[in-house]
C-alpha cells in the first residue's frame, strides 16, 4: 500500500497540483484514496487519470 502526503496549503494554481490538499480530499471523497491522517493519504492502486484530471479542475 502506497501513501502520499498533501502540501500544507493550496497554491491556487490552475489546474491544481497533484499533491494539493483539495485534490487529495476530492479523490478520497470519490473513494479512490483512503485518509490516514490530516495530511496523509494511502492507496492500493493509482487513481485513474480522468479522475485525477477532474479533481484538479477548477
pLDDT in tens, 3-42: 999 999 988 889 999 999 999 999 999 999 999 999 999 9
CB 17 within 8 A of CB 11: yes
27, HSE (Cβ side, Cα atoms, 13 Å): 31
- Model pTM greater than 0.85? yes
Total domain count, the chain: 1
Give the range of the structural domain holding residue 24, as residue numbers without chain letter.
2-56
Amino acid at each position: 500500500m502506497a501513501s502520499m502526503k498533501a502540501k500544507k496549503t493550496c497554491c491556487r494554481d490552475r489546474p491544481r497540483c497533484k499533491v494539493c490538499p483539495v485534490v487529495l480530499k476530492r479523490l478520497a471523497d470519490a473513494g479512490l484514496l483512503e485518509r490516514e491522517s490530516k495530511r496523509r493519504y494511502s492507496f492500493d492502486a493509482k487513481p485513474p487519470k480522468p479522475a485525477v484530471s477532474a479533481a484538479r479542475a477548477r
